[in-house]
Amino acid sequence: MSNFSDFKNGSLAQSNPVMQKIRNKTITAEKFASMVKSGDWIYGCMVGTDAVIPRKAVFQRLGEGPDKLQNIEMWAVDNAFLGTDFGLRYDKEGKYHIQHQGFIHKGTKDAIKQGWQGFDWYQWGWAMHMNYQFARFYNKDKSKRVADWGIATIAKPEGSYVNGSYGVSNFMITAKTCKKFVCEIREDHAWCEPGRNVNLHIDDVDYFIEVDLSDPDVQYPRLDERNIKPSETEKKIAQHILSIMRDGDTLQVGIGGIPTAVVLALADSDLKHLGVHTEMIGEWAFTLIENGIVDNSKKSIDQGRCAWAYAVPFMPERYFEFMHHNPMFAAYDINYTNNFLTLSMVDNFIGIMSFAKMDIRGQVVSSCVAGRPISNTGGQFQFTVGGQLSKGGRTVLAATSRTPDGKSRIVGMLDRGDVVDVPSQFVNYVATEYGIVNLMACTDAEKARKLISIAHPDDREELEKEAAKLGIKTKHWMFDVCPDRRYPTADDLKDHKHGYMDLVIAPKGVANPSS
């Protein structure tokens, strides 16, 4: 395999017209920054495709003077791991830039705590909000598009195409919302097989920038996810989730203690022929493939393939080993993986997600607690609803019963400033270390009673009092007469398909013969 230097200086550049074209478009990050004008809008991609070097070069030009940049607006779905301190480092007071950003992770939180003033949060949800933003930014006439620049990371070009690699989610949308598209080439990023909307012709890229992988700013934090050790509490939650799983289920999970606990529990279980249809792919899928648990053989769509939208290469060599030109992994844009219609066709889907807070009526808070943004909705709403539209589908919202500072996650009423990410009527299973309950189609009294039963034991008496204040009948005689509430089990619903998703094409009226 040739090195990127071959594109610029080697024999390939001398003999191959495609390589010559790439060579002619290759510039330095400093050259790119010199073309940016004050007042420009720069649209970044997503974790996995988050270009670092061109963004850093722009930050380094911020300031006063004729050769400096002011009033730069950056738009980012997520700036999770790379360059999260650029604003703090180069323009702490936000005098010359503003970064509009959806998701919030540790690097961003740390920068804000240290006084970064250039941050502007906005509510974000895959994939509907992606389309709302696309509609705002896109114009068929390229010169009239909203973003002056789009920047994204790609794998090393092959043939006449570039590949969105680990950030397929909105790679193509980024390319279509900007006047000029700049791609940062990383040799350590895998060429990920489609899916769709991952490959783009080199003629649609305006400039290429070479990345020096020895630069600390471009290195993802190394994390061997196999070494994550779930707590005993998280292991209990995982066992509750496994109790509603079946052979042939198709999984959506993320990263963290609870998802890792679920994966480890699955690896020790006798479940088999699981599939993957997920927003975020990663070590959890690699581990289950290696253990023979995931083979995608029973999937109703994308059979034999893991469908995914983005990845965070914490162990670059392992991600490259599994995903480089591996047809078992199908890279899709987020409008496919997180689409209600797609999810309705994924039989036996089970989505596992987390939450920050939930009231006893089942309203879910995940993005903004008491007016303080902590993350974002992401795909939670669409997976929670869409996953239940599949034949035999289930979705689980899981969390520890209490926060790290000892507060109950299940509360009587939400606080002022809490943002509801999933309305109560759409919530399916909820799990804590004290059990798993299904809220689907339950009354207020049934929901409250179930949620109180999985709250921390020391919080249940107070929650009962809160329910009484709200007029919720958790002590009604109906629970004594019919304690099981005649509720179907996960197995009972295995063959259930929502009538809502039986698509009907309404016939047109008969044409008027005299017209």
- The catalytic residues are 279
What does the alpha-carbon distance between residue 102 and residue 75 come to, in Å, rounded to a whole number?
Answer: 9
CA terminus-to-terminus distance, the chain: 67
H helix runs in 49-159, sequence order: 53-60, 86-90, 106-113, 128-137
Q: Return the structure tokens found at 190.
A: 């895998």
Q: Name residue 432's amino acid.
A: T
How many CB atoms neighbour CB 399 within 10 A? 23
C-alpha to C-alpha distance for 332 and 346, rounded to whole angstroms: 15
Measured CA to CA, the distance from residue 276 to residue 250 in angstroms comes to 5
Which backbone phi and psi does 274 adopt, to 5 degrees? -75, 155
Give the chain's length. Answer: 515
Is the separation of the CB atoms in 235 and 261 below 8 Å? Answer: yes
Which residue bears the tokens 């059979």?
A: 303
Q: Residue 409's closest CA among 401, 417, 420?
A: 401
Question: Cα(136)–Cα(132) distance, rounded to whole angstroms?
Answer: 6
> 188 and 313 in contact (C-beta within 8 Å)?
yes
| Burial of residue 360, with CB atoms counted within 10 A of its CB: 0-12 exposed, 13-18 middle, 19 or more buried | buried
